[in-house]
């Protein structure tokens, strides 16, 4: 594979492992845990893996000899920078336990386990991918692992390859799968451990014990660089409003982090829109008022950050989606021919929801009605919210002009940043964090546990001071209504409106709206002083300051 000069230099980067993971270690058990909600139901569904204690690793003075072990690894869901380092950390971790340990990668996501598609990840392959972005080492996919047939089919190949543990690198849905798989294999005495690793650029897989998901740091730095470049452009030409949609299926962590990094004129936070019970028109009016106020100062330009998931948080649309999901999950709907599905849906939803549906542009309504990913999520990345909002803002400004409330010119440009950042080479933070997550997963396997997520904490400190351990996945679960039924799932972490990152944004946003206070973060730096290269996200820093 031909490499760029930066790739060559970057390949030599040695991720900084937390000191606690560098020598012999022992697992120390904490108190038994409970799920975040619905304790009785989750306990009943996970009788073998519920209530396990948290674990943390400490140095050990009398290490036990390690045994060779075969491990499988799966990359699941959307790409996130650092996935290759989780795998290289895992590889180095199991090799440290015993040099004859072997790592197998299942291809194209959880489907590879079920379909028995895999490769052995040798040292030569791993070395090609250290510190690189992407998931191309084995590919990723969104197959949902949920049926006994899938689990049993997977077990056939695990037995054939003598694999004793599977590491699933994924977001909330994929780690839910990991918990279900762990429970099933334990219940039948399969002798296969399952360990999860917290991945997603969306940043919504986090809680008290998982400080951040990997990939968020790099992706938001890439988006912030480009937003900064756009801001410099618009402050130079002074003639465009840029409507920028940012990935993050549900929560607005990405938009909030980018706002903290770049200080745009407007940033919408979906969780606030929901809390204030705002309509789409309320959001439009809010933006139009800022455009008009800037125009009054002679500033006919600006930036608007829009979280990808906004549409789902507008209460009326959220209600509509919930009913659509229920209707789509019925046996009756399953029998309807695709061409007749829209009419079927319209005939089966309430009058209120039908009115909301009719108020939306046809392409948005279609997306909400028909497109779902395998986990039942609306594919919000396909909805052009940035264009929808700018069109509505344009209409609102025209009405304000007619009333004499707006004097200015409004010319909008549109951007969607998502795929640009998901496969970037990991920042030093993500390179170190991911390597530690993978290495730590090997330590959890060696400790003999199953149904745990790899947990590396103390992340605002230099990486050598990070702590390491494992969190029972059932601890993060609650019951939610998905695809027409109540299911145990990992609770998504939304932006907290009383949390330090949002409060910091809220305290400054009026000033950023009227003034032009842009920050231009510039590109990720891999070599240079620590204050330039090793800074964690502002979300993480503010959350820690707020404690
Ligand atoms: P994960 O939750 O699997 O990490 O994926 C996150 C994400 O990047 C979202 O931000 C986005 O909505 C979605 O994936 C898009 O996925 P796809 O490219 O498969 O449509």
Q: Could you report the per-residue pLDDT of 285-336, keeping only the tens digit for each?
A: 999 999 999 999 999 999 999 999 998 899 888 888 888 888 888 888 888 8
What separation in Å is there between the alpha carbon of 427 and the centre of ligand 1? 20
**Helix H or strand E encompassing 255:** helix 253-262
How far apart, in whole angstroms, are the C-alpha atoms of residue 97 and residue 76? 26
**Ligand 1 contact via 107 beta carbon (within 6 Å):** no
Domain ranges of the chain: 15-57+69-215+426-477, 218-422+517-544
Map 308-373 to HEC letters.
CCHHHHCHHHHHHHHHHHHHHCCHHHHCCCHHHHHHHHHHHCCHHHHHHHHHCCHHHHHHHHHCEC
**Ligand 1 contact via 248 beta carbon (within 6 Å):** yes
**Helix H or strand E encompassing 96:** helix 83-97
Cα distances from 391 to residues 245, 384, 388, 416, in angstroms, run 14, 11, 5, 16
What separation in Å is there between the alpha carbon of 189 and the centre of ligand 1? 34
- Which residue's CA is the closest to the ligand 1 atom numbered 18? 78
- Ligand 1 atom at shortest distance from the alpha carbon of 249: 12
Residues lower than pLDDT 70 in the chain: 371, 374-377, 380, 546-547
Beta pairing partners, 414 = 243
**Ligand 1 contact via 82 beta carbon (within 6 Å):** no
- Which residue's CA is the closest to the ligand 1 atom numbered 12? 249
Q: Answer whether 15-57+69-215+426-477 and 218-422+517-544 agree in fold.
A: yes
**Helix H or strand E encompassing 229:** helix 216-237
Q: Which residues touch 461 (CB under 8 Å, ≥6 apart)?
A: none
Identify the pLDDT of residue 217.
98
Identify the pLDDT of residue 371.
67
Identify the pLDDT of residue 376.
67
Identify the pLDDT of residue 146.
85
The highest-level CATH class for domain 15-57+69-215+426-477 is alpha beta
CATH of domain 218-422+517-544: 3.40.50.460
- Tell me the CB-side half-sphere exposure of residue 397, using CA atoms within 13 A: 25
Identify the pLDDT of residue 375.
63
């Amino acid at each position: 594979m031909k490499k760029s000069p930066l790739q060559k230099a970057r390949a030599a980067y040695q991720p900084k492992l937390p000191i606690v993971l560098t020598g012999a270690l022992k697992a120390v058990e904490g108190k038994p845990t409970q799920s975040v909600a619905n304790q009785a139901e989750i306990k009943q569904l996970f009788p073998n893996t519920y209530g396990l204690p948290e674990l943390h690793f400490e140095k050990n003075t009398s290490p036990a000899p390690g045994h060779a072990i075969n491990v499988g690894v799966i990359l699941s869901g959307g790409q996130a920078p650092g996935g290759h380092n989780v795998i290289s950390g895992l590889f180095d971790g199991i090799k440290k336990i015993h040099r004859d340990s072997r790592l197998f990668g299942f291809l194209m996501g959880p489907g590879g386990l079920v379909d028995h598609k895999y490769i052995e990840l040798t040292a030569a392959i791993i070395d090609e991918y250290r510190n690189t972005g992407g998931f191309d080492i084995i590919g990723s996919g969104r197959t949902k692992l949920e049926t006994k047939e899938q689990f049993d089919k997977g077990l056939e190949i695990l037995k054939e390859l003598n694999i004793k543990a599977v590491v699933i690198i994924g977001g909330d849905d994929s780690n839910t799968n990991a918990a279900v798989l762990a429970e099933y294999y334990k219940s039948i005495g399969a002798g296969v451990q399952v360990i999860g690793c917290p991945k997603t650029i969306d940043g919504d897989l986090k809680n008290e014990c998982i400080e951040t998901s990997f990939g968020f740091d790099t992706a938001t730095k890439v988006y912030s660089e480009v937003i900064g470049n756009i801001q410099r452009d618009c402050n130079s030409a002074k003639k465009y409003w840029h409507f920028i949609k940012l990935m993050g299926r549900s929560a607005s962590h990405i938009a909030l982090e980018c706002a903290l990094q770049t200080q745009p004129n407007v940033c919408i936070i979906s969780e606030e829109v929901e809390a204030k019970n705002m309509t789409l028109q309320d959001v439009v009016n809010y933006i139009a008022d800022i455009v008009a106020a800037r125009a009054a100062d002679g500033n006919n330009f600006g930036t608007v950050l829009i979280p990808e998931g906004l549409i789902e948080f507008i209460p009326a649309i959220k209600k509509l989606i919930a009913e659509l999901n229920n209707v789509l999950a019925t046996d009756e709907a399953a029998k309807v021919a695709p061409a007749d599905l829209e009419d079927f849906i319209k005939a089966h939803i309430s009058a209120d929801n039908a009115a909301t549906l009719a108020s939306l542009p046809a392409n948005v309504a279609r997306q909400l009605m028909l497109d779902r990913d395998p986990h039942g999520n609306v594919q919000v990345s396909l909805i052009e919210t940035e264009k929808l909002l700018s069109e509505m803002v344009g209409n609102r400004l025209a009405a304000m002009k007619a009333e004499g409330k707006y004097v200015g010119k409004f010319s909008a440009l549109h951007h969607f940043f998502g795929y640009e950042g998901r496969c970037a080479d990991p920042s030093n933070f993500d390179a170190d964090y991911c390597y530690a997550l993978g290495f730590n997963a090997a330590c959890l396997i060696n400790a003999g546990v199953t149904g745990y997520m790899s947990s590396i904490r103390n992340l605002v400190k230099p990486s050598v001071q990070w702590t390491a351990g494992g969190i029972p996945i059932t601890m993060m679960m609650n019951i939610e209504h998905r695809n027409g039924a109540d299911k145990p799932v990992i609770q998504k972490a939304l932006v907290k409106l009383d949390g330090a990152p949002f409060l910091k944004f809220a305290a400054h946003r009026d000033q950023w709206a009227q003034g032009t206070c842009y920050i231009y973060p510039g590109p990720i730096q891999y070599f240079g002083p620590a204050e330039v290269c090793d800074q964690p996200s502002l979300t993480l820093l503010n959350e820690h300051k707020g404690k």
